[in-house]
């Protein structure tokens, strides 16, 4: 219960944690069933919280969020529902590039494109989103 009071966890995370503490599978199943009945574990709620949390603190693209949620044991259907909450991924990418504006302001287009695309790709954005964000970000830097 102390663990669950700190933050939300997925069902798979709790199962892994319990299995590391005991080898009795029936006890693990009983505890998981009880936690789900009491609404302490809810993968849908966890996935939505996870996406919202990262959108506020350390924005990531849908590709990276999808991978992270899958690693936490969330089903593909729930992942798609949670990612539906990200309405404007391109705007998120442009905002990330704006934070780098001071560092990259004097770069020629070729270098800017290279640095920006690497940065956004490492944050899990798709190529179409990266392309549009680079155009918008570069124009913002050089049109005053």
pLDDT tens string 8-67: 989 999 999 988 888 888 988 999 999 889 888 999 999 999 998 888 888 889 999 999
Q: How confident is the model at residue 108 (pLDDT cuts 50, 70, 90)?
A: confident
Q: Decide if pLDDT at 144 tops 60.
A: no
Q: Decide if pLDDT at 143 tops 60.
A: no
pLDDT tens string 64-98: 999 999 999 999 999 999 998 777 888 889 988 88
Q: Decide if pLDDT at 141 tops 70.
A: no
Q: Decide if pLDDT at 122 tops 70.
A: yes
Burial letters for 95-119: b for 16+ Cβ neighbours within 10 Å, e otherwise?
Answer: ebbeebeeebeeeeeeebbebbbeb
Q: Decide if pLDDT at 123 tops 60.
A: yes
94 vs 90: CA distance, rounded Å:
6
The pLDDT, as a whole number, for residue 142 is: 62
Tokens of 131: 């392309």
137 vs 69: CA distance, rounded Å:
29
- DSSP 8-state secondary structure symbol assigned to residue 39: T
Question: CA–CA distance from 77 to each of 34, 43, 44, 82 (Å)?
Answer: 24, 11, 9, 9
16 vs 128: CA distance, rounded Å:
37
Q: Decide if pLDDT at 140 tops 80.
A: no
Q: Decide if pLDDT at 1 tops 90.
A: no
Question: CA–CA distance from 13 to each of 42, 67, 76, 81, 99 (Å)?
Answer: 12, 15, 16, 20, 33
């Amino acid at each position: 219960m102390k663990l669950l009071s700190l933050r939300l966890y997925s069902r798979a995370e709790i199962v892994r944690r319990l299995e590391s503490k005991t080898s009795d599978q029936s006890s693990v199943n009983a505890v998981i069933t009880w936690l789900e009945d009491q609404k302490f574990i809810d993968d849908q709620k966890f996935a939505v919280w996870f996406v919202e949390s990262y959108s506020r603190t350390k924005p990531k693209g849908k590709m990276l969020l999808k991978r992270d949620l899958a690693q936490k044991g969330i089903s593909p259907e729930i992942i798609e529902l949670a990612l539906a909450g990200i309405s404007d991924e391109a705007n998120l990418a442009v905002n990330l590039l704006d934070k780098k504006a001071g560092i990259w302001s004097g770069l020629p287009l070729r270098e800017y494109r290279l640095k920006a695309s690497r940065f956004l790709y490492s944050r899990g954005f798709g190529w179409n989103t990266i392309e549009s964000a680079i155009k918008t970000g570069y124009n913002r830097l050089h049109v005053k």
